[in-house]
Amino acid sequence: MSSGTNKHWAEEIAEKVLERRGVKKHVVATGITPSGHIHIGNLREIIIADAVRNALLKRGADAEMIYVADTYDPLRRRYPFLPENYEEHVGKPLSEIPDPEGCCENYAEHFLNPFLEALEELSIEIKLYRADELYKRGAYADAIKMALERRDDIKRIIDEATGRRSPEDWSPFNPICERCGRLTTTKVKGFDAGGAFYECECGHGGFAPFKGGGKLTWRVDWAARWKILGVTVEPFGKDHAVAGGSYDTGVRISKEIYGYEPPFPIPFEHIILKLGGRLAKMSSSAGVNIPVKEILEVVPPEILKYAILRTKPERHIEFDPSLGLLSIIDEYERRFAAADDVPFRHVVMLVQLGRRPHSEEVDLSLVRAAAERSGYVVKDEEAFMRKVMYAERWLRRFAPESMKFELKEALPPEAETLTEGQKAALRVLASTLRDNMTAEELHNAIYAAAENVGIKGADAFKAVYIALLGKPSGPRAGWFLASLDKEFVRRRFLEAAG
């Protein structure tokens, strides 16, 4: 998490911001278009913003963080997760489209609300702005009028920056058609002090007031927003930072049209989802994602934040919710957890030992007993229950099959495959078991039993797993045996050995 200067990257960014922007108050901005589930890839932007805001506050600066939900953006297409009748809503602002499940005020709120709940769980404080509300109350009115007045200058800026020629009838403002409700099918034909005259592909023509009657195109909207909300710092995806991209044009529009110094940029690499060994770029609209709310069900918020903060913004993150996430939790606990805390990886095993027979339900008393047998004392019951809950959900949702097991109530039929050498090793091991043996002692005892009867250590370990689980592999053997009742283990080994 630190660079060679022993400073966290957020502290280094905060210092540069204070050097370059001599203003009294800093506004760190972030946001998203809620067109689908807001996922952990989107979360990187807000966690970066939160870290920089906190670093600015730490240095005595007056700083706040704002979150702009682009609720006035149009629905670009009917996404795979939407019913067929949503084809009629393509091109309409998200805030003006009904919620696909009928549980929220509109489409945008349906995807925004779970994310806002997740931010509360992550203890990230924001000042929320909804774009539709900003437009409807007239916050953009002056910016729209100025953009239309300087339309030719803005078109030239965009054409020069992108190297492409915009259509001759291009306009920085997209009116919303009064008849069909779309803003992607209208063309500005003229304007006066209060609004724009338009024609729509649906055949309707009308007048769209600057106050709530439409919105600026993205590149112009972004630059106008900086001035309207006083933005001084903003993280954004690297795709906006390429030459001729949104930030390049935004800088020029902000300076040359709106007379505002653009915010300090923090371009960042994306989070790439790793599932089943395959990498995929996350997309809300395509449905390739894990919603933030869902990932917070399987990992504590402090660890999810750590998983993102440990990597500098300019480096991409491969997020593997399976074994990769388990390794990050291991790393976090080595750095921050108390020495006598029960490790999450160990709890994953204990949860599976604590399931009631013929049930997926976990008996906390059985889990606690297994923890204490393996040498841990549960001091904080609430914290332990919380970890058990996360471990159980992770097992159900993301754990690979190699991490899952079931302690067999009776000798599994696979025990018939044990060789005479393996059976002999189990007999020796049964004779050496004591109630107070540590995980390390039990691990070494398996090797000693193998050596005693002249078989490979690997074969002795397989025999242990087959006798107890009915398969040749399982959790770390020393900790596994330490967590079990030794009399039960002794009887099972002798039964397996015949």
Q: In the chain, count of helices (H) and strands (E)? A: 20, 13
Domains and CATH numbers, the chain: 9-164+217-271 (3.40.50.620), 337-404 (no CATH), 413-478+487-496 (1.10.10.350)
**pLDDT attached to residue 278:** 79
What angle separates helix 486-496 from helix 420-432, to the nearest 10 degrees?
Answer: 150
Q: List pLDDT tens digits, range 408-449.
A: 999 999 999 999 999 999 999 999 999 989 999 999 999 999
pTM confidence score? 0.90
Asked whether the beta carbons of 11 and 61 are under 8 A apart, the reply is: no
Tokens of 426: 């189990």
Residue type, 254: S
Q: State residue 148's pLDDT score.
A: 98
> In this predicted structure, what is the pLDDT of residue 395?
96
User: Length of the chain in residues, anyone?
Assistant: 498
Side-chain-facing half-sphere of 396: CA atoms under 13 Å: 16
Return the amino acid letter for 244: G
CA angle 104/110/112 to nearest 5° reads 125
Q: What is the pLDDT of residue 265?
A: 97
Give strand pairing partners of 317. Answer: 271
Series of mean pLDDT values for 10-residue runs along the chain (498 residues): 70 96 94 91 94 97 97 95 95 97 94 94 97 98 98 97 93 98 97 98 97 97 98 95 92 98 96 81 66 92 95 94 95 90 96 85 93 93 94 95 94 97 98 94 97 97 98 96 97 96
Residue 280's pLDDT is 72
Q: How far does the chain reach from its first CA to its final CA, in angstroms?
A: 55
Cα distances (angstroms) measured from residue 179 to each of 51, 211, 235: 45, 18, 38
Report whether 347 contacts 388 (CB < 8 A).
Answer: yes
In whole angstroms, what is the distance from residue 32 CA to residue 45 CA?
Answer: 9
- Give the type of residue at 136: K
Question: In this predicted structure, what is the pLDDT of residue 22?
Answer: 86
Per-residue pLDDT of 327-344, as tens digits, reads: 999 999 999 988 889 999
Half-sphere exposure of 431 (CA within 13 A, CB side): 9
